[in-house]
Amino acid sequence: MKSNRKRLWLMVLLCLVLSVGISGVASAATYRNQIVTKNGKQYYYNKSGKLVKGKYGYKIGKKYYKINKKGVLTKVSEMEGLAGIQMNDWYGKSKAKVLWQAFQWSAKLPYDTNSTKVPSGLTKTEYFGQYGFVRKRGDCNVQAATFYWMAKVLGYDVKFVQGYVGTKQNASGKLTGFGAHAWTTIKIGKKLYVYDPNFSSYCTKHNIQKKMKSGYKITYGAKGTYRYCNSKKKELK
């Protein structure tokens, strides 16, 4: 008699476990185009009911997020979202490899003379970055700003720089001509490096030096590069 009761209770418990499990699977399968909160963390299921994972940038409605490899959502700014979306195909690669991919993307943007007047309410990096990510073309400001945002998403200590490059010099080597230019710098450890997508674009087009590598992780004053100057036209070395 006791043996039969024990079997009965085991069967009841097994049914309860199975029902809970089936219920959980069924409820998860019903998520469609929905943000779901579990244990204080948010997850997103797309229109097909699939949990979205591993995204540098993702747009849900009017908001932007990054999504880690486990599917946890973190809200980000519009510009970080736009930059991240451009980088999604490289998710899973090393940080250094993704930075190189991002640099090439910006350097390969078709050159276009866009307005440099920044609209009210936007910063320079927001305006030029948005222009590049949406229109997929632009001048040196756009090339530098798009790379700036992608490097920022990766967590680099990156800065967008506007200044000048030397275009003429006298017999003694002193600069006498200048052209407005934009580039980025990244501080790695205690050393500052220049990342200039526009310079790499120019070198690639004219088959100069190492082509795409010419403007990647260089230093001020390096041989065979632009002679970079600050806003007061003082050469940076």
| Whole-number pLDDT of residue 25 | 45
- Rounded Cα distance between 56 and 88, Å, is 6
Amino acid at 30: T
Residue 88 DSSP one-character state: G
| Whole-number pLDDT of residue 20 | 45
Cα dihedral 46, 55, 89, 215, rounded to 10, equals 150
Instruction: Report, as an integer, the average pLDDT of 178-200.
Output: 97
> Sorting pLDDT into bands at 50, 70 and 90, what band is 121?
very high
- Assess whether pLDDT exceeds 90 at residue 16: no
- Assess whether pLDDT exceeds 80 at residue 27: no
**SS3 assignment, position 62:** coil
Rounded (10°) angle between helices 78-87 and 95-107: 100
Average pLDDT, the chain: 91
**Rounded to two decimals, what is the model's pTM?**
0.86
- Assess whether pLDDT exceeds 70 at residue 113: yes
Instruction: Report, as an integer, the average pLDDT of 127-144.
Output: 98
Q: Which residue has the higher pLDDT, 20 or 226?
A: 226
- Assess whether pLDDT exceeds 90 at residue 4: no
- Assess whether pLDDT exceeds 50 at residue 24: no
| Whole-number pLDDT of residue 23 | 43
- Assess whether pLDDT exceeds 70 at residue 62: yes
Q: How is residue 11 written in tokens?
A: 């069967």
Name the residue with tokens 């006791």: 2
- Rounded Cα distance between 220 and 197, Å, is 15
- Assess whether pLDDT exceeds 50 at residue 176: yes
| Whole-number pLDDT of residue 97 | 98
Instruction: Report, as an integer, the average pLDDT of 29-56.
Output: 94
| Whole-number pLDDT of residue 117 | 93
**SS3 assignment, position 56:** strand
First and final CA of the chain: distance in angstroms? 92
Instruction: Report, as an integer, the average pLDDT of 158-186.
Output: 96
| Sign, CA torsion 25/30/32/35 | negative
| Whole-number pLDDT of residue 5 | 58
- Rounded Cα distance between 202 and 213, Å, is 11
DSSP string for residues in 167-218: EEE-TTS-EEEEEEEEEEEEEETTEEEEE-HHHHHHHHHTT-TTGGGGGSSB
- Rounded Cα distance between 166 and 172, Å, is 14
